[in-house]
Amino acid sequence: MTTFSVLVIDDEEDFVTTLVNRLQKRKIEAQGVTSGEAALEALAKADFDVILLDIKMPGGMDGIETLREIRKRQPQAEVILLTGHASVETSIEGMNLGAYDYLLKPVKLEDLLVKIAAAYEKKSTQDKS
């Protein structure tokens, strides 16, 4: 049985709770935060295999800023970007910063779970090599 750790960063609390719940039920170590700042705190405490990151977070750090910090602190993590409003600029920035994938909302939870699993699979293949 495989298990791995996931960090979910999204300002939408309901979404974070639901996803974290679903992941935990599948025996995945999942944690959720609702801002970039809170994400940095979580990154300081634990390592993550896969990180799900919302690009548009009003208020504090936005997704791209957060992604830059993730790259510095945990370059080994695979990051999936998620957004309701596609923008070409953030797409290019995100992909240049090595994001694993860029998904446009609405995404079905099932699809998201598949992507998370595939991201972990990629990471574990790289870890082995």
Strand, helix or coil for residue 35: coil
Which residues of the chain form contacts with other proteins (CB under 8 A)?
Answer: 1-3, 12, 14-15, 22, 25-28, 84-86, 88-89, 91-92, 95, 101-106, 108, 110-111, 113-115, 117-118, 120-122, 124
- Least CB distance to other proteins at residue 44 (A): 27
CA pair distance 74, 79, nearest whole angstrom: 10
Query: Do residues 9 and 37 lie in contact, with contact meaning Cβ atoms separated by under 8 Å?
Result: no
- Least CB distance to other proteins at residue 81 (A): 9
- Least CB distance to other proteins at residue 73 (A): 23
